[in-house]
Amino acid sequence: MLTKLILSAEEQNALQRLGGMVSTRTIGAPEGRLANWTASGPGPVALIGGEWVNGVALCPKFLITHPSRVVSLTWNWDTGRLGEWSDFALLRLMILDVETKSCWTLDVTSLPSSTFIVPESAQISANCAVALQLKAGERVGKLYSPPFVRSIEVAVRYRTRP
């Protein structure tokens, strides 16, 4: 289930910095009303327990100039490095929409590979960033043999409006 996340003032500042990075991308989204972008990168490493840790933020390599809305998210993340934490680890996708300055999360703990249809009411722009987050149990403090996700792949399908 897609859940709206309320960002702290510090997180809002990070979102603004991310928005500055997004504006440096090349302009030129594919033509057409239905398109997609894909990205991949390293996942998160939970060195401390009980806290959400981000992997790399994945975003399109081009700036989508037309108004757009995300239709679906498809992902695939590697489960092989969770080790003994596999029963205690929580994983979620964090979707940051730099245009509307909103943030959404999607629990993917039991879905290492799947597709999610985004409800129209969410109004997430295709100029978004997606990061996999990992939380290793509720134990607070440094972890011995920390869990991590080696890699994540994301595909965002979106619809443009002329």
| Domains of the chain and CATH, by start | 2-160 (2.60.120)
What confidence tens digit (pLDDT) does each residue in 24-45 have?
444 554 555 779 999 999 999 9
Mean pLDDT over residues 65-85, rounded?
91
What confidence tens digit (pLDDT) does each residue in 137-151 have?
887 888 888 999 999
pTM attached to this predicted model = 0.84
What confidence tens digit (pLDDT) does each residue in 100-136 have?
888 999 999 999 999 999 999 999 999 999 999 999 9
| Count of beta carbons in the 10 Å neighbourhood of residue 142 | 9
Measured distance CA(12)–CA(3) in Å, rounded:
17
Distances (CA, A) of 67 to 6, 14, 29, 30, 36: 24, 23, 11, 13, 14
CB contact at 8 A, 7 and 103: yes
Residue 16 is predicted with a pLDDT of 58
Residue 20 predicted with pLDDT over 70? no
Nearest CA-CA partner of 149 in 78, 58, 90, 85:
78
